[in-house]
Chain A
Amino acid sequence: MSTATTPIDRAAPPESGPRALFHRLRHGDEVAHVVTLTFAALILLITTLLVFELWIRSAPTRGKFGFGFFWSGVWDPIGGNFGAIPFIYGTLVTSILALLIAVPLGLAAAIFLAELAPRKMSDTIAFLIDLLAAVPSVIYGLLGIFVVVPLMRTTIGPALKKTLGFLPLFQGPNYGVGFLTASIVLTIMVVPFIISVSREVLLTVPREQREAALGLGATRWEATWKVVVPWARTGIMGSVFLALARALGETMAVTMVIGNDPKIRESLFAPGYTIAAVIANEFNEATSDLHRSALIELGLVLFLITFILNGLARLLIVATERGGGHS
């Protein structure tokens, strides 16, 4: 009695156990998935490790000073007394001042590129401005020392003193290095970011908005300033946060022109210090655990601030690109 064997009868039984695993592995998809997943997870691991290291190694000062670290203005490695205020002050003053100049400047340039310039010119100029963003920090530092500092001492400083010298901001000796010089250098460094992101955000504003405004009799400028820019305002805010985060973390250019004095001063001509600058100058030489821990805690603070700012920035930019600046 012959049984007709069909191909289905002849087919191998479904595999099970180790053989099945091996067979699936040989197909490579699972392997690829696992391998790439591992590398993606590696990024998570490294970043977590980074935060962990910052946290753990700042334990000595966190334990000793607690939140008092943020109210204290004394930085005395010999006496073992550390406080973050002068550096937070310096970091904030230089960055905010830089933004005060960079935002109007950058926004104006972005408006020109998005609204007025013909497409080709706009693209070329945007391209060149992107190049500015790629210039390394130490290059700006070099220019800072040999160009901006003498300029500040001989030209800008005296001019400001003559015109605005009644404000305590512009009193006191003008060294050439100091808060103002650092802010100017930072301005040049962050303007490209503001221009680049703002321009892109402005370009996403729907044409109907502009046309509606123009149709109602607005001038070009009015249409831009009163309709287009407000529409994109969350994205523009995002670019400002990005620029701020960049300015806060800037190290080399700042430390070369700020004067390196951990004090809070009213005058913008005075020397100051930022978190990044003090870490760069003192980390290699911190003998006591407390000193090193203080520097790492400063780094942790910087990290947290830039983290929050970058997160907010991204949210704002994405929100604009999705739906526009409805309040």
Chain B
Amino acid sequence: MKKTAFLAFAVLCLAVAASAQSGTVLLNAAGATFPAPIYSKWFDVYHTAHSNIQINYQAIGSGAGKAQLTAGTVDFGASDMPMTDDELAKLKIKALHFPTVLGAVVPTYNIPGVSADLNFSQKALAGIYLGTITKWNDPEITKANPNVKLPGDDIVVVHRSDGSGTSFIFTDFLSKVSPDWKSKVGAGTSPNWPVGLGGKGNDGVMGLVKQTPDSIGYVELIYALSQKIPYGFVQNASGKFIKADLAGVSAAAAGAAKEMPDDFRVSITNAPGATAYPVSSFTWLLIPSHFDDASKEQAIKGFLAWMLADGQSYNEGLSYAKLPPTVVAKEKKALSQIQ
């Protein structure tokens, strides 16, 4: 009796486990947490519309996305930092960058008693993350926020512990506005942070900031919005303090929209323009230029085409800006490079 029951159970398990529906195309992807909310929404919506296509996206960070694409363990990757020439050289199959959305990295903070939006000057952000500005009532911060009573508490700095495109966007900005930062730390996905706690993924950083009083972290806009945690204004290249929003991000991308390089690799941090939000960025899907499996190739091309058209209508609902129309047109042409 026990034997037959066990046998039946085993057979049932095997049946359930091995049931791969025929015609299902399974794509595995990994990468950035910056766009993870919109990506997971897109893949979910796309799957509902095309039930035979399943895109499993694991948000493990831009660094991991690039690494796993290079190792060939995922079908495509996602990153907020474009691959450098060195990284591209390591790929066995050439990869194409496809911008998907425009997003903003915001300085979010959790200061007990302070619910106002703070202004952060370029020097303030660099100083906080360099560890030279250690208290919330430091003159560099208070002089930009005369109407806010800031406590004399120590600032708890939060950054990413994993290889992060969001880190790249933030440090790219800091490198452009602070020579000190540029020489001491530089820009990258895993910089040698002088101070701070490390959180895993945008959600890890958001989680730490949410739970740690007197903390400051940098996250993609949607994370701060959805958690209803305040985030500050950042001083842009024209000296104005801008709060991240769709208009500000699109303004930052205006220059790039006009002169987008063919490989779509561009940085729009600290962009010129009075209304531009200085810590904006594109984020890219890294798609191999060649797929052995024709069904995967079709699926990916189909998804990308959808993403450039209907997909964009979901961006603003999740506080990402739409791609500029010129960029969309260029990408549609680039789709043919995938074989």
Contact = CB atoms under 8 A, between A and B. Distances in A.
A–B contact at 8 Å CB threshold (below): yes
Interface of A: 74-79, 149-150, 153, 173, 175-177, 255, 259-261, 271, 273, 281-282, 284-287
A287 B188 contact: no
B212 interface: yes
Contacts of A285: 60-61, 63-68, 162-163, 189-190
Given A281-B161, A287-B87, A261 B68 contact: no
Contacts of A286: 67
A259 B193 CA distance: 13
A261 B196 contact: yes
Interface of B: 30, 60-61, 63-68, 70, 87, 90, 154, 156, 161-163, 186, 188-193, 195-200, 208, 211-215
A149 B70 CA distance: 37
B198 A153 contact: no
Contacts of A255: 200
30 contacts: A77-B188, A77-B190, A78-B186, A78-B188, A78-B192, A149-B211, A150-B211, A153-B213, A173-B154, A173-B214, A175-B197, A176-B211, A255-B200, A260-B200, A261-B161, A261-B193, A271-B196, A281-B200, A284-B60, A284-B61, A285-B60, A285-B61, A285-B63, A285-B65, A285-B67, A285-B162, A285-B190, A286-B67, A287-B66, A287-B90
Contacts of A271: 196-198
Contacts of A149: 211
Contacts of A259: 197-198
* 7 closest A-B pairs by CB: A260-B198, A285-B64, A285-B63, A260-B161, A285-B163, A173-B154, A284-B64
Contacts of A173: 154, 156, 214
A261 B192 contact: no
Contacts of A175: 156, 197, 212, 215
A76 B162 contact: no
A255 B197 CA distance: 12
Nearest to A287: B67
A137 to B, nearest CB: 16
A180 to B, nearest CB: 14
Contacts of B70: 287
A286 B90 CA distance: 13
B191 to A, nearest CB: 6
Nearest to B161: A260
A260 B64 contact: no
A177 B67 contact: no
Nearest to A263: B195
Nearest to B154: A173
Given A285-B162, A285-B163, A260 B212 contact: no
A317 B162 CA distance: 41
Contacts of B200: 255, 260, 281
B219 to A, nearest CB: 16
A150 B210 CA distance: 12
Identify which of B64, B68, B156, B197 gathers the most chain A CB atoms within 10 Å of its CB. B197
B192 A76 contact: yes
A78 B191 CA distance: 7
Given A149-B211, A176-B212, A77 B163 contact: yes
Contacts of B188: 77-78
A273 B213 CA distance: 21
B65 to A, nearest CB: 8
Nearest to B61: A285
B192 A74 contact: yes
Identify which of A75, A77, A153, A273 gathers the most chain B CB atoms within 10 Å of its CB. A77
A24 to B, nearest CB: 32
Given A77-B190, A79-B192, A282-B163, A261 B67 contact: no
A175 B155 CA distance: 10
A139 to B, nearest CB: 18
A209 to B, nearest CB: 48
A149 to B, nearest CB: 7
B82 to A, nearest CB: 14
A91 to B, nearest CB: 16
Contacts of A282: 162-163, 190
Given A177-B208, A259-B197, A285-B65, 6 more contacts: A78-B189, A261-B197, A271-B196, A281-B200, A285-B61, A285-B189
B61 to A, nearest CB: 6
Nearest to B60: A284
Contacts of A79: 192
Given A149-B211, A175-B212, A287-B70, A260 B163 contact: no
Contacts of B154: 173
Contact of B199 (A76, A150, A260, A284): A260
A173 B200 CA distance: 21
Contacts of B189: 78, 285
B211 to A, nearest CB: 7
Nearest to A77: B190
Contacts of B191: 78
A260 B60 contact: no
A281 B162 contact: yes
Contacts of B199: 260
Nearest to A271: B197
Contact of A284 (B68, B90, B211, B214): B68
Contacts of B60: 284-285
A149 B90 CA distance: 42
A273 B162 CA distance: 13
Contacts of B156: 173, 175
B334 to A, nearest CB: 24
A79 to B, nearest CB: 7
Given A74-B192, A153-B212, A287-B70, A261 B198 contact: yes
Contacts of A281: 161-162, 198, 200
A287 B192 CA distance: 16
A217 B90 CA distance: 78
Nearest to B90: A287
